[in-house]
Amino acid sequence: MNNLICRYTVQELLPVVSFLSEKFTGRESTSVTYERANQLMGAVIYCINKNPDAQTFKSAQSAYTKGYKLLVEKVKSTKALFEQIQEEFISFGNRAYYETVTKGMPAFFIKYDPRFNPLNKVLTLDYPTIIPVHNLEGVDAIHQYLLYISLEQDFLKAFAGSDIERVLAGYHPQYEDLFINLAQIIYRNVIGCLIADKNILDLQLDSGDLEEIKKFLKDKTKSELVNNIHVLTEVMVKKSFENNRDLLEYLWADGNDFCAEIINARENNCLESIFYICNN
Amino acid sequence: MENNFLFNPDENRNYQMTKVLDCNAYTKKFGVTLSEADALTLMESRSATLRDQQRVEFGEGILPKIISAFCDSAYIYQDNYLDMLQTLQDIFYLYKNESLDELSDDELIKYMREEFEGKCQGSLEYLEDTSLAEFARAIRKRSHGFLGKKEEE
């Protein structure tokens, strides 16, 4: 709420808050608590800010009314996006992934209150996406989160489920119970496959491949590595994912951390903690 | 939405004072009236109470309702009228909070009036510390406002 900025003055916003307060109390109470007034003021500003052309409206009330309509539309489009994801959603056995998407999202659409509390995300979004959505509020956060989940699903579904589960089990035997991002782990192994010149769809690396990776990484500075891995990611997205730029941007959000971890692993001679070796 | 002038603090105060003074027409038959100075005192007291209780009030305020509910009380007369209204106003906002806003204004005023005339026999201390305290406890006990509690049930 404190981060919300609005072009209208408090004086102009108060009548809208009063209108909303009347609706909230059903005209049965002339006063509300500070917390409630703060929440309602947040709701008004959030809706007004939904308007790309809020400054063209004569009053804060008309900007709010239009913004509220846009907010309801966004909830509808977010629900449609969720239903589309839900149809073929695969959690690969990870409980946080399953519960956040399959159980949490329907609860969001039941409990979300666009009129009086639109800033509330309702969900804790336990499954972490590569790019966090903590800086967003309400349905904006959920919509962005679902867009990321959709990108992840597109990415993960390119591989066989059994291969993904094998790599995840290599990451941690109890990967099902961890709050980890699955796409990030698979992406890192795909990069390993590309460096070792293996078929990325197999997600198979052996100890010989690890030697290849070590050779590739030898004497590379972090900036060189960042450039190389970015090129490899671009190649992967171009060849296997119809040059989906959103996917590239999403996966590459992990790029700098990934390179730092590789350099650390190289120095400590433990690259197998990033690129999982298949023992069969 | 037409009453945008209500959001100008000075105009809002004048508007509320007028509403309070308008009540004199009805209350004078019970032998109680407020002067302009009294109304101003009540407005100042209202602002302080709202601040203390951390509440925001819109519209004409609660005083006209309190006045119309209590003006015919057997325990209220001209000499204690202003003090009584000030305290009743304080008690009202306190118990709006204490009852977690589960009560409407009318319900709370009705209960206050019944207890004030009955069990309390005109004692505002008894009304505040005993009757309303018990009432608010009972409301909090069955309140569904806290999600966890609702799910437990």
- Element (H or E) spanning A263, and its range? helix A255-267
* In chain A, % of residues over pLDDT 90: 78
Q: At B144, phi and psi to the nearest 5? A: -100, 10
B1 in any annotated domain: no
With respect to residue B49, please indicate whether it lies within any of the assigned structural domains: yes
CB contact under 8 A, B55 and A34: yes
Q: pLDDT at position B153, please?
A: 44
For A216, residues 6+ apart whose C-beta sits below 8 A from its C-beta are: A195
Mean pLDDT, rounded, for A64-90? 96
* Cβ–Cβ contact B93 with A under 8 A: yes
Over the range B5-32, which residues count as b (16 or more CB within 10 Å of their CB) and which as e?
A: ebbeeeebbebbbebbeebbeebeeeeb
Rounded to 10 degrees, the C-alpha dihedral A59/A63/A69/A73 comes to 170
Q: Is the pLDDT of residue A101 over 90?
A: yes
Whether B153 is in a domain gets the answer no
Chain A CB within 8 Å of residue B96 CB? yes
* pLDDT tier, A52 (very low <50, low <70, confident <90, very high otherwise): confident
Alpha-helical (H) ranges within B5-129 are: 9-22, 24-27, 36-52, 63-70, 78-98, 105-117, 124-126
Interface check A58 vs B, CB under 8 A: no
pLDDT at residue A43 tops 90: yes
Tell me the mean pLDDT in the region A137-158: 97
User: ipTM higher than 0.90?
Assistant: no
The radius of gyration of chain B's CA atoms, rounded to the nearest angstrom, is 17
pLDDT in tens, chain B (153 residues): 444 445 566 777 888 899 999 999 999 999 999 999 999 999 999 999 999 999 999 877 899 999 999 999 999 999 999 999 999 999 999 999 999 999 999 999 999 999 999 999 999 999 999 999 999 998 888 766 544 444 444
pLDDT for A8 beyond 90:
no
Check whether A55 has a pLDDT greater than 80: no
CB-CB neighbors (< 8 A) of A29 in chain B: 96, 101, 104-105
Q: What percent of chain A has pLDDT over 70?
A: 97
Return the pLDDT at A58.
Answer: 80
Asked if residue B4 belongs to a domain, the reply is no
**Residue-level pLDDT at B149:** 46
A19 at B interface, C-beta within 8 A: yes
Judge whether B2 lies within some domain. no
Residues of chain A with C-beta less than 8 angstroms from the C-beta of B5 = none
**pTM above threshold 0.80:** yes
pLDDT at A7 over 80: no
Q: What is the pLDDT of residues A182-192, one digit of tens each?
A: 999 999 999 99
In a domain, B141, yes or no: yes
Task: Report phi then psi at B111, rounded to 5.
Answer: -65, -45
> With an 8 Å Cβ cutoff, is A109 touching chain B?
no
Task: Please write the tens of the pLDDT for every residue from A232-260.
Answer: 999 999 989 999 999 999 999 989 999 99
Q: What is the DSSP string of A115-140?
A: TTBTT---S---SPPSS--TTS-HHH
Q: For residue B71, is it within any domain?
A: yes
Number of compact structural domains in chain B: 1
Q: Which two tokens stand for residue A25?
A: 């109390």
Q: Residue B102 sits in which domain range? A: 9-145
Of A11, A21, A30, the CB nearest to B105: A30
Evaluate whether A67 touches A50 at the Cβ level (below 8 Å): yes
CA-nearest residue of chain A to B4? A15
B54, B58, B104: residue with CB nearest A28: B104
Token pair 């109680």 in the structure block, residue? B32
> What value does the mean pLDDT of chain A take?
92
Question: Model confidence over A107-131: pLDDT tens digits?
Answer: 999 999 999 999 999 999 999 999 9
In a domain, B78, yes or no: yes
